[in-house]
Amino acid sequence: MKPLNVLFLCTHNSARSILAEAQLNAMAKGRFKAFSAGSSPRENQQPNPLGLQVLQNAGISTEGLHSKSWDVFAGADTPHMDLIITVCDDAAGEVCPIWPGHPATAHWGYPDPSAGEASDAAKLEAFRQTLISMKRRLELLCSLPDAKLEQAVLQTSARQLART
């Protein structure tokens, strides 16, 4: 079975979607290829340094991670997505592009670990907790049998994981 392409979406593509992309790629074992993007990344947007620090502390590669618009993945010459997962409530409520191939979709909401006026230490802990929460769902996704990853049932499988 060829790897399934999974796109994680958030508004700015600087925190949650970056964490999910890096973590799934680290645990995918050839079954998945993860990407991330944002619905409206700010000009010159970069991944949040605290998120990159948490990934590095967890032994997850940050090589190649960068913020980008979801428009990058809407063209005909881009990787075909099998599953698109929004990881923030703002992106979940936005009108998404029409994705080639009509991939399965799901929403796995996580609070923004970079939000608010907390200290860097508190935000770092928020990023760590977000990574832990994501890992639980991503482990379940990775452990699904091939039959649960077939196009006809992938959306149901991914949406059921949102309840874990």
Q: Where are the domains of the chain?
A: 4-157
**Digitized pLDDT (tens) for each residue of the chain, 164 residues in all:** 789 999 999 989 999 999 999 999 999 999 999 999 998 888 888 999 999 999 999 999 999 999 999 888 877 788 889 999 999 866 555 555 666 677 888 899 999 999 889 999 999 999 999 999 999 999 999 999 988 888 768 878 888 888 87
DSSP secondary structure string for all residues of 85-104: EE-SHHHHTSPPP--TT--E
pLDDT at 24: 98
Tokens of 56: 């590095």
pLDDT at 101: 72
Instruction: Look up the CATH number of domain 4-157.
Output: 3.40.50.2300
Comparing CA positions, the residue from 125, 116, 76 lying closest to residue 98 is: 76
Other CB atoms within 10 A of residue 111 CB: 14
pTM: 0.89
In eight-state DSSP terms, residue 6 is E
Tokens of 112: 């923004």
pLDDT at 85: 94
pLDDT at 93: 57
